[in-house]
Structure formats: C-alpha cells, structure tokens
Amino acid sequence: MTGSRVRDRAAHQGPLLMVGSALAWAAGLVATKWVLNQTRATPTAVLTVQLAGSLLVLAAAAAVTRTPVRGGLTKGWVGLLEPGLSYYLALAGLTLTSAINASILGTLEPVLVPILALLLFRERPAPRLAVIVVAATIGSLLVSASGTTAGSDWHGDLLILASVAAAALYVVLASTQVVDLSPLAAAIGQQLWALALVMSFLLATFVVTGTTGWTEPQFTDLLLAAGSGILNYALPFWLYLVALTKMPVSSAAAYLTLIPLFGVALAAVVLGEDVSPLHLAGGVLVVGSLLWEALGHTGPPGRSERHRRTSTTDKSPSA
C-alpha cells in the first residue's frame, strides 16, 4: 500500500511540476516586458542582469547538489546562439511588441527545428509535419495581424521569430556538442558564454554612446531585472528537471503547450494588454499544432524541453 501511494504521489507531482515550469517561463516573459517598460533600459542592459541572476541561482544549485560542472564551459559555446543571440533578439522584440504576441510566437521552435534539421542534415521529418507547419504559420500570421493593438508592432514580431530561429538552430547544432554533459553543467556553461556575448554588446554600446543602457538605475530596478531572469531561465529549467525524474519526456512535452496560454492570461491581467479575436484564433492554431506535435512526439517540444536533453542521446539538447 505504501509503495502504491508513493507511486501515485510521484505521478501527480510530475504534471504539477511541469505546469509550474510552464507558468514560470510565461511569468518570466511578462516580468521581462514589465521591466523593459518600467526601467526604459535597453535589452542588452536588462539581459546582462538577467543572465547574472540566473547564473547565481544555477551555481548555487550546482553547489547544493554537488553537481560537477566541468566541461560545461568548454562545450558551452553553443550558448552564443541560445540564450545569447536568441534571448537578445527576444528582448529587443519585446520592446516593440506585446507580451501576448511574444508568448504565442515564442513557442514556434518545435516547428522550426525539424525544418532546420532537414536543411542542414537531411533528416527526413514525419509526414504530418507539413500540416503542423501550415497550421502554426497561419496562427502566427493571425497573431501578427493583431499588431494594431496597443504595444504591438510587426517589427517586434519579426525579432521574436528571429529569436526562435536562433533557438532552433541552437537545438540542431548543440545536439552533437553537449550530449555527455549534465543538464546543470550545460546550462551554466552556455549561460556563461551568453553573458560574455551580451557583455561585449554592452561594452560596445558604452564605447560608442558613453552609456550603459540604464537611465539612472535604481537598486530595485536591478533586483527586478535579476528576478525576471531567474523566472525566465533558472526556475523553469529547475522545475522541468525535477519533473522528468517523475514522468517521461514524451509525456512532459504536452504540458509545454501551456506556456502561451499562461503568457496571454498573465499579459492581460498584469500588463493590461488586450486580447483580440485574432489573438484567440492564432493562439488556437499555434497551441493546437504544438499539442499535436507534442502528443505525436514528432520533434523537440520546445524551449524548456532542451534543458533535459543534454544528458540523453536524443537529438535535442539543453539551454
């Protein structure tokens, strides 16, 4: 009886942890949009603080769990793509578009990964991928067409899509780079490379303009930026890793489709953004295609999924 209760508890814990991971990522995106709006800091400046905050938490986790992180820095160069370039483009896009648009468009990575794998490595995707791509593309166009709402701009949507493309390229390239690393070591190494890249952008900005990207930064501003980084990067990753000790990867993938739903709801409640009929129609197509892809396990489920795969033989690694 006791063993049965333990198994039942673990079976319930896994889904709850996955829901928490999706909620944390969505909350991190909304918090990032709020920080950008309130501080008027540049994406480079905000991302620098976010990565520093996330790295502190990940380093503390590695110390507490006594996880070896050797090799993470050497093989973590793929972090230049993600979180480096990908998150830089995402933050730049967030300054121009709404958190609702970013929440929906930012989850299209599972659609792009198989396409890039086909173009770069001739990996033949599942036949139904064409249907998923068409549905997700139409949904994305509908979301972008809603850009007439306050705080939305199609230029920002393009930057979000560019960040997704960089993340998808990261997944394809990193699959051969970090398969022998623990997820925590890979995350730390890649985020260190990303921080170095973003700090080089920050230094270049200072040399050219004489500013750091912050307009009279307050301690609370820096604290909020660091907190949004923990929500956006460290916490979803940690919850996801724990969830995968209690449920299979293929089952966890379906819960990642909650990210855009949480993102839209939080953006509407916290930021006061309007949800238009086009948002709803586009969101249904995007989330539906992602859910179908996840349930059929036709490809990498998405942003949070990659954190687990650095320690497996699967073709998609972690960030």
Q: Domain residue spans in the chain?
A: 15-311
pLDDT for position 49: 92
Average pLDDT over residues 26-38: 89
Question: What b/e string do you get for 176-191 counting C-beta neighbours within 10 Å, with b at 16 or more?
Answer: ebbbebbbbbbbbbbb
Interval 256-271: pLDDT, tens: 777 888 888 888 888 8
Residue 51 has pLDDT above 80, yes or no: yes
Residue 194 has pLDDT above 90, yes or no: yes
Share of the chain above pLDDT 70, in %: 76
pTM to 2 decimal places: 0.74
- What percentage of the chain's residues is helix, strand, coil (to nearest 5)? 75, 0, 25
Contact of 195 with 52, CB cutoff 8 Å: yes
pLDDT for position 159: 92
Q: How confident is the model at residue 301 (pLDDT cuts 50, 70, 90)?
A: very low
Average pLDDT over residues 126-135: 70
**Nearest Cα residue to 89 out of 73, 100, 105:** 105
Average pLDDT over residues 127-140: 71
Q: How confident is the model at residue 192 (pLDDT cuts 50, 70, 90)?
A: very high
User: Is residue 7 exposed (0-12), middle (13-18) or buried (19+ Cβ within 10 Å)?
Assistant: exposed
Q: Which residue has the higher pLDDT, 192 or 216?
A: 192
pLDDT for position 89: 93
Interval 16-25: pLDDT, tens: 888 888 899 8
Q: Which residue has the higher pLDDT, 94 or 301?
A: 94
Angle subtended by helix axes 154-174 and 129-145, to nearest 10: 150
pLDDT for position 305: 42
Return d(Cα 270, Cα 312) in angstroms, integer: 38
Q: How confident is the model at residue 52 (pLDDT cuts 50, 70, 90)?
A: very high
What is the radius of gyration, based on Cα positions, of the chain? Answer: 19
Share of the chain above pLDDT 90, in %: 15
Residue 303 has pLDDT above 50, yes or no: no
Q: Which residue has the higher pLDDT, 262 or 150?
A: 262
Return d(Cα 217, Cα 203) in angstroms, integer: 17
Angle subtended by helix axes 109-121 and 277-296, to nearest 10: 50
Going by the DSSP 8-state scheme, the letter that residue 83 receives in this structure is: I
Phi, psi of 47 (to 5 degrees): -65, -35
